Chain A
Amino acid sequence: MASNTTLTKKDLNKVGFRSILLNTTFNYERMQATGFTYSMKPVIDKIYADDEEEKKERELNHLTFMNSHSYAITLIMGICAAMEERKEKKELINGIKVALMGPLAGLGDSLVWFTAIPILAGIGISFAMDGNILGSIFFFLAFNLLGFAIRFGFLHMGYKLGIGILDKISVIGDKITRAAGILGMTVIGGLIASYVTLNTALTITSGDAAVNLQTDVFDSIMPNLLPMLYTMFIFYLIRSKKKSPTMLIAITIILCVIGSFFGIF
């Protein structure tokens, strides 16, 4: 059963470039199955070049339910490439895929969607709000640099480590997730203060003295208090009341229009 075909860096990179199209056929039934098979195809075609039937079997084997992080998933592709090269049993390959897709999705989501995007976009937005086009360009370049570093880095790492990574990812993964959480929360706190805006136009009159609630009270105690309170209100609606994003947008617009009508804002 020993393999006589070895994969080169070039073969792996082919998988990396094909993985760009991973989600093109995304669907609810098997999610990234077709995209995953499409990405792995060059590797399987090469290893089983002289066994047409086995090649088909191997490719169909990958055409099962798959769903992980769009970039970090290349780690699984790397591991699978190493396993295909050793001509491991199909069941073992499937087992590894199923075992890894969940944890890897969690790790990728917290690193890319919940940490990299808020931070890089936050920096970009601070330029964009001043009308500086550098904001968009910075965001685009920085994000793609990171995205492709993850895509190809994870791919080659997965191939090198083979199955050995299984234990490591659960230990290191948790620590990285926590570090990313701390960083993300710090930045979100700053983003709330910077970009959520809410000022009230209300004034309280007692006798001759008119107190403007916003400029005289909030701005002198804690300027961004109202934005923070509103963000916490939305957070409460999501966490405890399970409201959908669409509902939250509707609630916000209705509250603001009513508030504006009565002169509160």
Chain B
Amino acid sequence: MSFAQIIIITIITGLVGIDCYMEVFQTYRPLILGTIIGLVMGDVKTGLIIGATFEMMWMGLMPIGGAVPPNMVIATVIGVVFGIASGKGADVAIGFGVPFAVLMQGIVILMYTGFSYFNTSATKYIKQGKSKQFDLIQLKASIVIFFCYAIVAFLPIWLGIDKAEVIVNILPEWLINGLSVAGGLMPAIGFAILLNTMFKKDYIIFLAMGFILVTYLSLPILPLAVIGVCIAVYDYMIPGKKATALATTTESEDYTDGI
């Protein structure tokens, strides 16, 4: 891996990090970011597969109401870079990516705390009538976010990339196999968290239906989604006691567990 590649990946991580903070274009979703990093590393296919695996893992981990999940941007960047550089692909990506994702989670919490500073300066600039300075706050914040992400991506890659293969080769077979099995189970975490946020007893039957249709009929997700839309529209249209039955929906959502 050349130094130029490391720099390109560092810059991409910084920019995608801003998008992740803003929650706008979704370039930070592992499925998309994994592909981009794979492209820079010269192995799009592995990037795609690691990205898709992480995508499922993070599917339910949404940054809602200021809660901070382990950081998917850093996980994807480190996971894809080291997965490809070590030659082991998706099997080791989780082992490399997750620790840094947890580190970045802490740094994002620090940013969420420290950025209160911008409230103070916003108040000041409005009182002084300085419109230009007020608008520039957005840029200042973006620059801080950029460097926080860029540094966390740059250091481990720059310091560790030569050793990636060595590290992986001294690991025993059962450990690699264990990590690989864990990789297959990671989507369960994403889906379970998603379930928890939407869960209502009357929905269980639909979960079972989706599971059965795919397990026994090998239905792909797209036609399954179309079937789901049909049922949802039918349910929406039939008159009944829907509104009262659902009056508690929003209140019953529980975000206290950090997602």
Contact = CB atoms under 8 A, between A and B. Distances in A.
Interface of A: 20-31, 33-35, 37-38, 41, 45, 52, 56, 59-60, 63, 67, 70, 102-103, 105-107, 109-110, 113-114, 117-119, 121-126, 128-129, 131-133, 135-136, 139-140, 143-144, 147, 171, 173-198, 222-224, 227-228, 230-232, 234-235, 237-239, 242-246, 248-249, 252-253, 255-261, 265
A248 B198 contact: no
A156 B138 CA distance: 24
B250 A106 contact: yes
Identify the interface centre among B65, B94, B117: most chain A CB within 10 Å of its CB: B65
Nearest to A182: B232
A119 B142 contact: no
Contact of A191 (B32, B56, B138, B236): B56
B113 A28 contact: yes
B175 A260 contact: yes
Interface of B: 18, 21-27, 29, 31-32, 34-35, 44-45, 48-49, 51-52, 55-57, 59-62, 64-66, 69-70, 94-95, 98, 102, 105, 111-119, 122-123, 126-127, 129, 131, 134-135, 137-138, 141-142, 145, 174-175, 177-179, 181-182, 184-189, 191-200, 203-204, 206-215, 219-222, 224-225, 227-229, 231-233, 235-236, 242-243, 245-247, 249-250, 253, 256-259
B233 A231 contact: no
A26 B175 CA distance: 40
Identify the interface centre among B118, B122, B221: most chain A CB within 10 Å of its CB: B221
A238 B192 contact: yes
Contacts of B199: 239
B203 to A, nearest CB: 4
B198 A234 contact: no
A189 B185 contact: no
Contact of B59 (A60, A121, A237): A121
A179 B55 contact: no
A38 B70 contact: no
A28 B111 CA distance: 9
A45 B118 CA distance: 21
A174 B247 contact: yes
A120 B204 CA distance: 22
A189 B211 contact: yes
Contact of B235 (A21, A178, A224): A178
A27 B68 CA distance: 12
30 contacts: A23-B23, A25-B119, A27-B115, A28-B113, A37-B122, A67-B65, A119-B228, A121-B55, A121-B59, A122-B225, A124-B55, A128-B35, A128-B51, A136-B51, A140-B26, A182-B203, A187-B225, A188-B191, A188-B198, A189-B208, A190-B210, A190-B211, A196-B185, A222-B215, A239-B196, A249-B98, A256-B182, A257-B178, A259-B178, A260-B174
A52 B44 CA distance: 55
A44 to B, nearest CB: 10
Given A106-B249, A131-B45, A257-B179, A223 B215 contact: yes
B122 A183 contact: no
Contacts of B197: 109, 114
A119 B116 CA distance: 35
Contacts of A188: 191, 194-195, 198, 207, 210
Contacts of B141: 24-25
B54 to A, nearest CB: 10
Contacts of B259: 245
B221 A119 contact: yes
B184 A261 contact: no
A261 B178 contact: yes
A139 B191 CA distance: 18
A6 B1 CA distance: 58
Contacts of A235: 192, 195-196
A12 to B, nearest CB: 18
Contact of B243 (A175, A227, A242): A175
A6 to B, nearest CB: 22
A45 B131 CA distance: 10
B1 to A, nearest CB: 21
